[in-house]
Structure 1
Amino acid sequence: MPRFSIIVPAYQVQSYLGACLDSVLEQSYRDFELIGVDDRSPDGCGEILDGYAARDERVRVLHLPENVGLGRARNAGIEAAGGEYLIFLDGDDTFTEGSLRAIADRLDATGEPEVLVYDYARTYWDGRAVRSRDGAAGAFRTGQDRADVFTAAEREDVLNLLMVVWNKAYRRDFVERNAFRFPAGYYEDTPWTYPVMLTAATIATLDRVVVHYRQRRQGGNILATVSRRHFDIFAQYDLVFDYVQERPELHRWLPLLHARMVDHLRTVGNHPDRVPAEARREFHERAAEAESRHRPEGAPARTVAGDWRHGPLGRLARTAGRTVNEVGPKAGRAVAQGLLTTYQAAQRRLPLDRQLALFSSHGYRPPACNPAAIQAKLRELAPGIKAVWVVDPEYREDVPEGLAVVSPGSREYREAASRATWSVSNVPFDDSAPKRQGMVYLQTHCGTPVKRMGTDLRDYPAAGSSLRFNEMLRRVDDWDYSLSANHYSSQVWERVYPSDYRTLEYGYPRNDVYATAGAAEVLAAREELGVKPGQTVLLYAPTTREYRASYRPGLDPAGLVRALGPDHVLLYRAHFLSEHEPVEAPGVIDVTAYPSVERLALAADALITDYSSLMVDYANLDRPIILFADDREVYRQTRGTYLDLFSGRPGQTPGATAGTEQELTELLRSGEWRSGANDELRGAFRERFCAFDDGRAAERVVRTVFLGEATPLPVVPLAERTTAPRPEEL
């Protein structure tokens, strides 16, 4: 029998679940079982739990056949538990280091109490951890006039601590003896916590922050969602009062419970983000009825009437207050940047145009990447929707014929940005066109996050110095959809761009061509570049370096081709954010300005890159990938990567690696880059990152975002796909 059964229910927390599980499994105290409960989560939670179970025998996973909600998912964990104590941890929260040892020691010191209560700290996206006010005030301390072990009657202030399930450890025989279980619905902690705390004959406290309680910026708390499900609170308090009424020895608690219920109902009913506005009157009527029905004999009536300050008028008043107190300075800055023109203001008063979509890519460069692939599919499936591209004037001549184009900041741009129902981009639009209600924003991203991104760059000043994080997050709050190529990307995006958008795990539209192209497309790409039959084409595409103002790759393209011989061609593609001097040398083709990196990939026999996400896209072709970087330690310190690229580990490294130009040259000349071992690495890499890139990603996006279809097209399994043929096979 393990000391602890730690129950972790999981539903749509894939971005945080790994950190949660790690915080448990990396504890120094190891006498526990971890029971992960997949509550039929539609994201990758089930797979994540299974992965941990495969690696650690202490982990067991329950996959529920249907979504039952947090309370009943915890019940499933209780039924499977075999530990002496039950501990609950939500899938987006974490334990602090050394917590389980501290809990075990405190249980030993206090004689195995039925309940141990410990403290928590709220953690925020910016890294702050703020201990609870009760803990900071010393509420968990014992000694002097506070006994180590007590009942709620002996120390009533323990009921003032946060009444949730996850800040306590429960002796399992006590739970089973009293048949404690969670009900379905919202506020399920209420009919668990009050009966438990009032019934326990022995309670102890631990003066320590055990749980880091994650505070999501947007969308993480279901109790902050406007819904009629908040009416569940009435049934939950009915359960509490039924439990107490059936036990005369607990009747003394009825006045306190009544007061707590009234305060709780008032809070929920008055909260602007809980009860729908049209149901608020009904809620308050139900609250008044519950107050009267559960009022102890002789107790004074308590009001649960609504407070106008928390309704729509209240929001208006608070907004007005913010306008006076906060918006003024921002408006001043906005004036300095230039106000919207009268024309744009007039356009914003007109209805949105449901036949208009705004597109951009790479900061108003020519159409490319995922937005371009989506726009092409949109033209096929919904030709009535007009696509307008925002392109900087210096790139206008590079725009393919037939596309509608506007310049950023122009009158035409302001009109399109004010009226378009849909906006699609792989980077943010600028602030000259604030989002209107009813607009739909799709963020496609520029690639799978290999290097650190978003809020993670706070710890890397060299890379993140140009970012204004609050401004960045304000723009993220405009997203309605975030496109993801794989489960891994979803977890990173949701964590580093925390907000309330919907993740679309559909694959990357720009990669569709790798599954649809045939021999003709591959040959045409090579012929267009002037490649001769039989030549080996290497695509060299390094990413940018923020730590150097003018980065030059530590590779001499001309020298490499000379060493390899005339049967090799090197396609050199500098990153679009890097300063670039054209390379002119025999056997080297500078393709930095080439419009389609996907077409270059089709032409290449192998990819040479460093930390670029292109490695993930290229893996779809199942052709060799070589990693070359001579600045690994500097890059690790200044930008960092999520993947251990040069470790040689499956799922982390896509193929052969080199740290110097000499190593790279020897690797290519020896043929080792085509070895079976590197094929196996690439296979594992492809399996991890290319699960959804089956050639229909763009269609999934268009059908979901633009056509409103609820069920995405099924994904063709990796083993059943066809891939563009390798040049050597032609």
Structure 2
Amino acid sequence: MPRFSVIVPAYQVQAYLHECLESVLSQSYTDLELIAVDDCSPDACGAVIDEFAARDPRVRAVHLPRNTGLGRARNAGTERATGDYLVFLDGDDTLAPGALLAIADRLEETGDPDVLVYDYARTYWSGEAVRNRIAAQLAERGPAPFRLVDRPGLLDLLMVAWNKAYRREFVERAGFAFPPGYYEDTPWTYPVLMTAESIATLDRVCVHYRQRRAGGILRTVSERHFDVFDQYDRVFAYLDEHPGLEHWRPVLFRRMVDHLVTVYTRRDRLPRGTHAAFLRRARSHCRRHYAPGAPVPARARVHHTLVRFGLHRTYRALRLASALRRGAARLIGRTASALRSAALLLHYRLQRLLPLRADRAVFTARADGGGPAALESAFHAVAPHIRTTWAAPPDHPGRAERPRTAPPGPPRLVPGTAAYWTALARSAYLVSDTGLDPRLVKREGQVVVRTQRGTPLGHTGLDLLERPAAARDTDFARLLEDVDRWDYVVTANRHSTLAWERAYPGRYTTLEYGQPRTDPLHTATAADVAGLREALGVPEGAVAILYAPAHRDYRRTQRPPLDPERVVRRLGPRFVVLARTRPPHGTPPAGGSGRVLDVSAHPDVASLCLASDVLVTDYSPLMFDYAGLDRPIVLCADDWEAYEAARGTYVDVRAFPPGAVADGEEELIDLFATGHWRGSHSARRRAAFRARFCPYDDGRAAERVVRRVVLGQAGLPPVVPPHERRPVPAAGAASGPPPLATVPAQQRPGGPLTVTDRF
């Protein structure tokens, strides 16, 4: 008897069925049977199912003699199921990697409940994935399992069959079955949840719900959408047969009206000329099943009233008035925006006629503040007479906290405001690690300082002219206009200087002083590290792996090459992964064991570096910053050729790695299991890498820049040699061997470094 019976009905999904079935059979949890039901599909679905059944004994092919619809196809699969739990999956959707293992673990944790509810993400043809908006209802808080009365918010979730696992004995004992017609999930899901004696939740994306460009069956204009009335009749008939569930009637009535409003208002549902008939039938249903008591949100009350009373003409009149109001508002808004832009432009021109303020500096940066944030701190420490401010949207997390000893500065400037244009027109210093506003006119006497966002590994700037996959929509003409504004460019090493001056040719002066963004890595203390780890939720004594893969230009979707959940499962409870695997505003990853912490949106990369014990990456330039900490770095990638072909690289890190190298997940796990990730060979590689790429990163790079640019000093603070630096040690791996750079050459494993040790 398998643990899971995965039931996949298939009808006209031949383009997606292979991916669907493969997502089930490739699960790391293999105790399953896959029942694929060909609902007499006129395309090749039946042949695809037979091919899978021929190659994998876990697949059971079912061919129905005639088309019966989704609900009855599921019933056919349920009748043949032998697993402990039933899992439904539509033929154009897929299971997320590791989903069945996570479901199995959660079932065991909660004592095999009747129903387990898990999460899903909508995946679009463009590659975008959006997680369920109300995933908070699935938070694993409080005792589990529970009954629906303890968590009624579960009824707010999408009422579908495929986001749950059902204990087969419970389904058979209660006699649940799917009815025919559209919206067949409705009279299945509500009775199942209300009847279940034990329910549990799993806060993890287990299903990728495909949003087809042409729309699914429910987004097809058809009179079959009137089936929704019959389905709710079945729901309320079930309540009539089970008096103990009568207290759910007001909630179900409100949900029914919500559903009827959706069907009525969506343009891809009802045929032209049937809306009035739909509302008349809706009025009849609302009178028949009326059960007040469930609160209706304020925004939905008008819709509820119009549908309940069948006011079709009133609804159309209100809809027309609303469309006219929106059109007028858009016209007024565009006019006001044009007038405002003209006024701001005039304001900016007038401000440029006024004298520069030699004591003002404006900073702009990307998400984590980076070099500009470090330079602002140095401004306050070395040149306190300069007043600084940041130009960033209100929700931008980039600005570092202002030092306590610094004088209070002006508030953050919001781009597009009068204060913003005043600052750009009159500030003597402009510091940025990203493109300046293209409308900026640099004045004589203004000084523009550009900091890099790390040491370049992949091609950048004009070197991308021959790399269209990586360049995408880069405007090279605008890029060169921006370069012409620069006075100083701060670089970390000779490699960066050569690459930057070739990729961004201009008349600027290069300041090869080190990477200001790495200064916090060299000034932090052990107490700082402990506080950061506690704030992130890293258990005391755990080895924290910072996993930061690079962006793949040749891929539309950016799924991480490694599965962090699988890695920590294999390595054991001592390891924790800090996963920085998605854009800051991307879709949150699926939940899991609790030992994979999603830090993708964390605003400060330096804090993540300090809190971790080892960096695992592939081609991310973060490795150059991290090398300054003298902590282990592991490279793990199996697509070097593809990355190099799409982006191009300045350094072959396979030939000159910063530490141990793994070709895939299995080798990575082996490196950690054997301890080679921080062995003497890895330490020698790291020392050579650090000497080449971190020659000036001693914590005073920003100070050197400010002294040169602002104070005009020629004699700058001397650079501390790499072997004399003492960066704060890691916390979780403190019991391991000391970093190589802190050990005298005569005592290092294998003796002093040689040329061959570097490759």
Q: AA paired with 2:650?
A: Y
Looking at structure 2, the residues matched to 468 and 717 of structure 1 have their Cα atoms a distance apart, in angstroms, of 40
Does 2:688 align with 1:681?
no
1:549 maps to which residue? 556
1:22 maps to which residue? none
Deviations 1:173-214 (A, max 9, x none): xxxxxxxxxxxxxxxxxxxxxxxxxxxxxxxxxxxxxxxxxx
Does 2:637 align with 1:629?
yes
Q: 1:89-128 residue pairs with structure 2 within 5 A?
A: none
Three-state SS of the structure 1 residue aligned to 2:396 is: helix
Could you say what the CA RMSD is over the residues aligned between the two structures, in angstroms?
2.3
TM-score (norm 1): 0.51
2:438 maps to which residue? 431
Looking at structure 2, the residues matched to 685 and 399 of structure 1 have their Cα atoms a distance apart, in angstroms, of 29
Distance 1:439 1:513, change over 3 A: same
Offset of residue 517 of structure 1: 2.1
2:351 maps to which residue? 347
Three-state SS of the structure 2 residue aligned to 1:570 is: strand
Deviations 1:282-314 (A, max 9, x none): xxxxxxxxxxxxxxxxxxxxxxxxxxxxxxxxx
Offset of residue 532 of structure 1: 2.1
Q: 1:399-410 residue pairs with structure 2 within 5 A?
A: 400=401, 404-410=411-417
Does the 8 A contact of 1:484 with 1:508 survive in 2? Answer: yes
Looking at structure 1, the residues matched to 432 and 398 of structure 2 have their Cα atoms a distance apart, in angstroms, of 20
Does 2:663 align with 1:663?
no
Three-state SS of the structure 1 residue aligned to 2:561 is: coil
2:374 maps to which residue? 373
Deviations 1:447-496 (A, max 9, x none): 00111111111111101132122221121111100101011111111111
Deviations 1:627-647 (A, max 9, x none): 122322211111021111123
Does the 8 A contact of 2:449 with 2:486 survive in 1? Answer: yes
Does the 8 A contact of 1:544 with 1:578 survive in 2? Answer: no
Q: AA paired with 2:612?
A: A
Looking at structure 1, the residues matched to 398 and 455 of structure 2 have their Cα atoms a distance apart, in angstroms, of 30
Does the 8 A contact of 1:425 with 1:444 survive in 2? Answer: yes
Looking at structure 2, the residues matched to 579 and 336 of structure 1 have their Cα atoms a distance apart, in angstroms, of 35
Q: 1:81-160 residue pairs with structure 2 within 5 A?
A: none
1:393 maps to which residue? 394
Does the 8 A contact of 1:544 with 1:577 survive in 2? Answer: no
1:486 maps to which residue? 493
1:46 maps to which residue? none
- Aligned partner (choices 500, 504, 508) of residue 501 of structure 1: 508
Looking at structure 2, the residues matched to 631 and 434 of structure 1 have their Cα atoms a distance apart, in angstroms, of 43
Q: Structure 1: which 4+ aligned runs deviate by more than 6 Å?
A: 335-338, 396-399
1:590 maps to which residue? 598
Looking at structure 2, the residues matched to 666 and 336 of structure 1 have their Cα atoms a distance apart, in angstroms, of 64
Q: 1:490-529 residue pairs with structure 2 within 5 A?
A: 490-529=497-536
Distance 1:589 1:499, change over 3 A: same
Offset of residue 718 of structure 1: 1.4
Does 2:646 align with 1:638?
yes
1:454 maps to which residue? 461
Looking at structure 2, the residues matched to 637 and 682 of structure 1 have their Cα atoms a distance apart, in angstroms, of 26
Three-state SS of the structure 1 residue aligned to 2:560 is: coil
Offset of residue 729 of structure 1: 3.0
Three-state SS of the structure 2 residue aligned to 1:701 is: helix
Q: AA paired with 2:601?
A: A
- Aligned partner (choices 702, 707, 710) of residue 703 of structure 1: 707
Offset of residue 544 of structure 1: 1.6
- Aligned partner (choices 535, 540, 543) of residue 547 of structure 2: 540
Distance 1:513 1:414, change over 3 A: same
Offset of residue 396 of structure 1: 6.5
Offset of residue 545 of structure 1: 2.0
1:215 maps to which residue? none
Does 2:478 align with 1:471?
yes
Distance 1:567 1:508, change over 3 A: same
Distance 1:587 1:396, change over 3 A: closer
Does the 8 A contact of 1:421 with 1:438 survive in 2? Answer: yes
Looking at structure 2, the residues matched to 477 and 603 of structure 1 have their Cα atoms a distance apart, in angstroms, of 39
Distance 1:490 1:396, change over 3 A: closer
Looking at structure 2, the residues matched to 565 and 510 of structure 1 have their Cα atoms a distance apart, in angstroms, of 34
Does 2:578 align with 1:601?
no
Offset of residue 538 of structure 1: 0.3
Looking at structure 1, the residues matched to 340 and 639 of structure 2 have their Cα atoms a distance apart, in angstroms, of 39
Q: AA paired with 1:378?
A: F
Looking at structure 1, the residues matched to 372 and 692 of structure 2 have their Cα atoms a distance apart, in angstroms, of 24
Does the 8 A contact of 1:551 with 1:578 survive in 2? Answer: no
Does the 8 A contact of 2:558 with 2:582 survive in 1? Answer: no
Offset of residue 574 of structure 1: 3.0
2:734 maps to which residue? 729
Q: AA paired with 1:361?
A: A
Q: AA paired with 2:662?
A: A
Distance 1:524 1:589, change over 3 A: same
Offset of residue 390 of structure 1: 1.2
Looking at structure 1, the residues matched to 579 and 439 of structure 2 have their Cα atoms a distance apart, in angstroms, of 36
Offset of residue 577 of structure 1: 7.0
1:20 maps to which residue? none
Three-state SS of the structure 1 residue aligned to 2:412 is: strand
Q: AA paired with 1:415?
A: T
Does the 8 A contact of 2:374 with 2:702 survive in 1? Answer: yes
Does the 8 A contact of 1:582 with 1:590 survive in 2? Answer: yes
Deviations 1:660-714 (A, max 9, x none): 2222222222222122111111111001011101111111011111222123221
Offset of residue 531 of structure 1: 1.9
Looking at structure 2, the residues matched to 677 and 716 of structure 1 have their Cα atoms a distance apart, in angstroms, of 25
Three-state SS of the structure 2 residue aligned to 1:414 is: helix
Does the 8 A contact of 1:583 with 1:590 survive in 2? Answer: no
1:564 maps to which residue? 571
Looking at structure 1, the residues matched to 469 and 665 of structure 2 have their Cα atoms a distance apart, in angstroms, of 26
Q: AA paired with 2:420?
A: Y
TM-score (norm 2): 0.49
1:383 maps to which residue? 384
Distance 1:615 1:475, change over 3 A: same
Q: 1:276-295 residue pairs with structure 2 within 5 A?
A: none
2:723 maps to which residue? 719
Does the 8 A contact of 2:529 with 2:610 survive in 1? Answer: yes
Offset of residue 383 of structure 1: 2.2
Does the 8 A contact of 1:409 with 1:432 survive in 2? Answer: no
Looking at structure 2, the residues matched to 597 and 397 of structure 1 have their Cα atoms a distance apart, in angstroms, of 11
Offset of residue 726 of structure 1: 2.5
Three-state SS of the structure 2 residue aligned to 1:356 is: strand
Amino-acid identity (%): 44
Three-state SS of the structure 1 residue aligned to 2:465 is: helix
Does the 8 A contact of 1:463 with 1:639 survive in 2? Answer: yes
Does 2:615 align with 1:614?
no
Looking at structure 1, the residues matched to 441 and 590 of structure 2 have their Cα atoms a distance apart, in angstroms, of 41
Looking at structure 1, the residues matched to 599 and 584 of structure 2 have their Cα atoms a distance apart, in angstroms, of 15
Looking at structure 2, the residues matched to 396 and 601 of structure 1 have their Cα atoms a distance apart, in angstroms, of 18
Offset of residue 553 of structure 1: 1.0
Unaligned 5+ residue runs, structure 1? Answer: 1-334
Unaligned 5+ residue runs, structure 2? Answer: 1-337, 403-407, 736-759
Looking at structure 1, the residues matched to 477 and 434 of structure 2 have their Cα atoms a distance apart, in angstroms, of 16
Distance 1:508 1:398, change over 3 A: closer
Deviations 1:52-98 (A, max 9, x none): xxxxxxxxxxxxxxxxxxxxxxxxxxxxxxxxxxxxxxxxxxxxxxx
